[in-house]
Amino acid sequence: MANFTLTPENSEKVKIKFLRKYRDLSEKNISFAPGREDALVEELMQLIKRDKQYVEFTILKALADPDGNRL
């Protein structure tokens, strides 16, 4: 189970931050949707070739400051 919960409001901001950080991703590659946190982590693990802890850490970091510009 993922260590975070996405809402429609914060999922869009997290998505934008991931797309900025990983320029080779596109909106078609990733599907941020509330309630699909575990599937999102698995999908991102494959796309950015990182482990679960890193992906969850990065998402939590984005959620900590959703209005900020840093990830």
Q: What is the DSSP string of 39-68?
A: HHHHHHHHHHT--HHHHHHHHHHHHHSTTS
pLDDT tens for 21-69 read: 898 888 777 877 778 899 989 999 999 999 999 999 999 998 888 777 6
Q: What is the pTM of this model?
A: 0.82
